[in-house]
């Protein structure tokens, strides 16, 4: 499962709609949650690539799965 390209313009439009509707900035369904999700996924991918770069090592990538993590900004599915 490859990360989707983050669409900043779509994010901006959706965030503005949510904020105008009085929805929160943070937490599940918050206006900034998609940006946080994208950042976390890219950071974790970079860390995995650096850590598991050598294919001859026994500890290497073998697939991906969805995870829910708790942050100070609320839960995010990555």
Place of tokens 């073998």: 62
Q: Is residue 3 very low, low, confident or very high in pLDDT (cuts 50, 70, 90)? A: low
Note whether residue 14 is domain-resident: yes
DSSP result, 41-76: HHHHHHHHHHHT--TTSSS--------EEEETTEEE
Domain count, the chain: 1
- Token couple for 64: 């991906």
- Domain region containing 24: 8-77
Note whether residue 3 is domain-resident: no
9-20 pLDDT, tens digit each = 999 999 999 999
> What is the structure's pLDDT at 21?
93
37-73 pLDDT, tens digit each = 889 888 888 887 777 666 666 665 566 677 888 887 7
Note whether residue 33 is domain-resident: yes
Note whether residue 1 is domain-resident: no
């Amino acid at each position: 499962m490859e990360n989707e390209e983050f669409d900043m313009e779509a994010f901006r439009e959706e965030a503005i709609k949510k904020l105008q509707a009085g929805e929160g900035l943070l937490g599940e369904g918050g206006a900034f949650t998609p940006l946080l999700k994208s950042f976390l996924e890219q950071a974790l991918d970079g860390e995995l690539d650096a850590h598991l770069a050598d294919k001859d090592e026994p500890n290497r990538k073998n697939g991906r799965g969805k995870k829910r993590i708790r942050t100070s900004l609320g839960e995010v599915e990555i």
